[in-house]
Amino acid sequence: MKLILKSLAGLALMFGLASPVSGSSDIIQLLPGTISHTPVIVRAEDAASGQHFTVFCKTNDAFADKFLQATLEVRDEDNQIAHCDIEKQWTAGGVEFTFDIAPGFLEASKFTVVEIAHDGLQSMPGFLSFWFYLRDFATNRTPATAPGSSGQVAPDILKELPGRIMQLRPGATGDQVWRQLGLAPYQHSLGGIGTPTNDRFWLNSSQELELVFEEAPARGTLGQGLADERKLIRATLYKNGRQIATSNK
């Protein structure tokens, strides 16, 4: 299945204001630092059973009820405990999903909402999906940082990252950039959005890394096991939406 990555702003226009584009399949991870660019709102609060989550999806699509669905995957660190559909409730301006989760399942469990592409009541190829780890929006909790399990970069690497970014030079290949930044172990695990010349990765809940490349000749789709030979133009590190470091020109 072909997955097409677009800007978050563009996806926000697709979800709720129009059905997903026929033929495209878009999967977006939600994080606290970027969720404001989407039509999804996540609220978490303490409850007797652990955490109570409310997920609100803005939509004015009269036919969305048939094509909008949400699931909760409950997991501990090693096993899937349950996979269940979450009932939707229509409210003013959109759809709301609510559920409770026990503290022991916050770390690995995730929520997903999917809208199937459609034209009126006719389903079409393609979908638009938003998902998040419950831990990223839980209250009174420090986000996990272990590579491979949390999808976030370890604090010691983040501390050194501004200096490493300023030492980068234009012309380095994509793979060289990841190694020079000390981020090679995270190259294929971080969430983000991308185009052939611009990638943006979410390092944790407040920091993002933007990589701008020269356009390379088409040689297949970049992915794990394929070399990224695009030439770097600029690397920029953001914290809470503000630029804190950029590479040399």
The per-residue DSSP string of 110-132 comes to EEEEEEEEEETTEEEEEEEEEEE
Residue 240 has pLDDT above 60, yes or no: yes
Mean pLDDT (the chain, rounded): 78
Closest C-alpha among 140, 248, 245 to residue 203: 245
144 falls within a domain: no
Count the Cβ atoms, other than its own, within 10 Å of residue 192.
18
Residues 46 and 122 in one domain: yes
Structure tokens at 37: 């660019």
Predicted pLDDT at 193:
73
Mean pLDDT of 146-157: 62
- Residues 128, 164, single domain; the answer is no
> Is the pLDDT assigned to residue 7 strictly greater than 60?
no
Alpha carbons 65 and 227: distance in angstroms, whole number:
42
* Domain identity same for 202 and 101: no
At residue 11, the 3 state secondary structure works out as helix
Predicted local confidence at residue 54, as pLDDT: 94
Asked if the structure places residue 143 within a domain, the reply is: no
Q: Measured between alpha carbons, how far is 155 from 110 in angstroms, rounded to an integer?
A: 23
Residue showing tokens 């920029």: 236
Q: Stretch 194-221: mean pLDDT, rounded?
A: 78
pLDDT for residue 83 is more than 80: yes
Residue 129 sits in the same domain as residue 179: no
Mean pLDDT value across residues 82-103:
89
Q: Examine the fold and report which residue of 107, 136, 165 is the final residue of a domain before the chain moves on.
A: 136
pLDDT grade for 222, boundaries at 50, 70 and 90: very low
121 and 165 belong to one structural domain: no
**pTM of structure:** 0.51
Pair (105, 51) in one structural domain: yes
pLDDT of the residue at 218: 56
3-state secondary structure of 167: helix
Q: What is the pLDDT of residue 12?
A: 42
Range of the domain at 227: 155-246
- Averaged pLDDT for residues 51-74: 84
Please give the pLDDT value at position 40.
92
